[in-house]
């Protein structure tokens, strides 16, 4: 009597792969991922394409999928006994086109949103009326459209890095121009501000705000090191940071607010030539505009760059770590809020500077990720017109980026095993 497929061992599956002409994947499927007969019956094309397998040769994927469907069809009774009969019906049955699926998202279908959230958290099952759509996305080929295609596209990440560095340099030059136009403190005293008028100045507070930002920066660097999709994360960080600071260049150049505190020595500085301005801008750029590196600036009040950086770092830390990492999220938010408080307590910015910076940064982060996670908007003509840079960077990232981690180096081996 022929041996039942669901009783096959890993060695028997390896033999089947050899017989079907897929011997090169024997180590990946049978040795590394311990694929036996039972798991072979449940294997789908989406599993082959997506992590952790990540097959990239299209011809092999298609031929192996055909072989899988053939063996699954031959063992339909075993599939039904195991409750896996939906695999065949979903992979072979009629399917919705991408535009139809996206249409449901664009209409705000709560079912689609729930499915997307399940995919983000790595779940393969839904409840209630969402079962069919969830299985369609998680077991069929449409999962690839939502979360399967996550190309690193390192060249785009390099381009985004060049973009943000250029914006930082341009911001530094605008800060030099703004410093020359700072209002005279004798003619234009500090504006009334409820917080600044009520809270005494703390001299060391601004250094503490920058320390909070540095801690958040180190936290995000560690996440980027260990995150499997670090290229996409860093590209998004650069594009968002550059865009907010480019907007900041406009606001602080157009409107020059009076100095917020008498303790600031903000007499306007005039430079003899353009080279002097460039040298000053390079000093600000190389010091990242931080007082801890000896950089002192005036006039760049609308809006707070320190608040932008601290808030954006916090949002990236909390977005790209698992939802149950409550301690990390709490620490990140505490650093964000305390950093904002220290900026105000140092009397380095008006309250409105900090509020507008926080609002613009959080809205832009949320809008960007809403568009990125909703493919209907991502591929729309309106998005390409109004958000050309977003469309360029995100055109090949379909759906939410899963929080998956691995050790990027070969040694030490225990770290690769523990994290990978």
Burial bucket for residue 345 (CB in 10 Å: 0-12, 13-18, 19+): buried
The residues that bridge with 227 in the sheet, in sequence order, are 405
How many other C-beta atoms can be found within 10 angstroms of the C-beta atom of residue 158? Answer: 14
**Residue of 142, 227, 306, 347 marked catalytic:** 306
Instruction: Tell me the backbone φ, ψ of residue 322, rounded to 5 degrees.
Output: -55, 150
Identified catalytic residue from 137, 227, 229, 349: 349
CA distance 404 to 51: 9
Measured distance CA(141)–CA(144) in Å, rounded: 6
What is the 3 state secondary structure string of the chain?
CCCCHHHCCHHHHHHHHHHHCCHHHHHHHHHHCCCCHHHHHHCCHHHHHCCCCCCCCHHHHHHHHHHHHHHHHHCHHHHHHCCCHHHHHHHHCCCCCHHHHHHHHHCCCHHHHHHHHHHHCCCCCCCHHHHHHHHHHHHCCHHHHHHHCECCCHHHHHHHHHHHHHHHHHHHHHHHHHHHCCCCCCCCCCCCCHHHHHCCCCCCHHHHHHHHHHHHHHHHHHHHHHECCHHHHHHHHHHHHHHHHHHHHHHHHHCCCCCCCCCCCCCCCCCCCHHHHHHHHHHHHHCCCCHHHCCCCCCCCCCCHHHHHHHHHHHHHHHCCCCCCHHHHHHHHHHHHHHHHHHHHCCCCCHHHHHHHHHHHHHHHHHHHHHHHCHHHHCCHHHHHHCHHHHHHHCCECCCCCCCECCCCCCCHHHHHHHC
Tell me if residue 353 is catalytic.
Answer: yes
Q: Of the residues 47, 102, 300, 353, which is catalytic? A: 353
Token pair belonging to 198: 């009520």
Task: Report the catalytic residues.
Answer: 306, 349, 353
């Amino acid at each position: 009597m022929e041996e039942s497929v669901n009783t096959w061992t890993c060695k028997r599956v390896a033999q089947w792969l050899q017989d079907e002409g897929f011997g090169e994947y024997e180590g990946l499927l049978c040795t590394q991922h311990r694929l036996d007969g039972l798991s072979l019956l449940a294997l789908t094309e989406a599993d082959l394409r997506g992590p952790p397998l990540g097959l990239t040769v299209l011809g092999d994927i298609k031929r192996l999928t055909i072989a899988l469907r053939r063996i699954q069809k031959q063992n339909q009774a075993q599939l039904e006994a195991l409750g896996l009969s939906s695999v065949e019906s979903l992979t072979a049955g009629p399917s919705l086109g991408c535009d139809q699926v996206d249409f449901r998202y664009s209409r705000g279908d709560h079912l689609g949103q729930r499915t997307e959230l399940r995919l983000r958290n790595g779940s393969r099952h839904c409840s209630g009326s969402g079962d069919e759509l969830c299985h369609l996305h998680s077991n069929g080929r449409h999962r690839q459209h939502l979360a399967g295609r996550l190309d690193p596209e390192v060249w785009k990440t390099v381009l985004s890095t060049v973009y943000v560095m250029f914006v930082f340099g341009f911001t530094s030059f605008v800060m030099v121009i703004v410093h020359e136009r700072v209002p005279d403190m004798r003619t234009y005293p500090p504006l009334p501000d409820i917080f600044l008028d009520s809270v005494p100045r703390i001299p060391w507070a601004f250094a503490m705000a920058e320390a909070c930002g540095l801690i958040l920066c180190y936290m995000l660097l560690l996440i980027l090191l260990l995150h499997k999709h670090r290229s996409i994360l860093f590209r998004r960080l650069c594009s968002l940071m550059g865009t907010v600071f480019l907007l900041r260049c406009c606001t602080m150049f157009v409107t020059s607010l009076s100095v917020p505190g008498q303790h600031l020595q903000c007499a306007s500085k005039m430079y003899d030539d353009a080279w002097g301005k460039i040298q000053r801008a390079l000093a600000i750029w190389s010091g990242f505009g931080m007082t801890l590196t000896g950089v002192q600036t005036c006039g760049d009040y609308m809006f707070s760059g320190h608040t932008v950086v601290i808030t954006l770092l916090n949002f990236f830390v909390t977005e790209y770590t698992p939802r149950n990492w409550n301690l990390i999220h709490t620490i990140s938010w505490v650093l964000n809020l305390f950093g904002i408080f220290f900026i105000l307590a140092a009397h380095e910015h008006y309250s409105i500077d900090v509020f507008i910076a926080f609002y613009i940064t959080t809205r832009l982060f949320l809008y960007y990720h809403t568009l990125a996670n909703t493919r209907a908007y991502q591929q729309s003509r309106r998005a390409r017109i109004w958000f050309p840079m977003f469309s360029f960077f995100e055109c090949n990232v379909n759906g939410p980026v899963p929080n998956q981690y691995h050790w990027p180096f070969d040694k030490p081996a225990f770290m690769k095993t523990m994290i990978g």
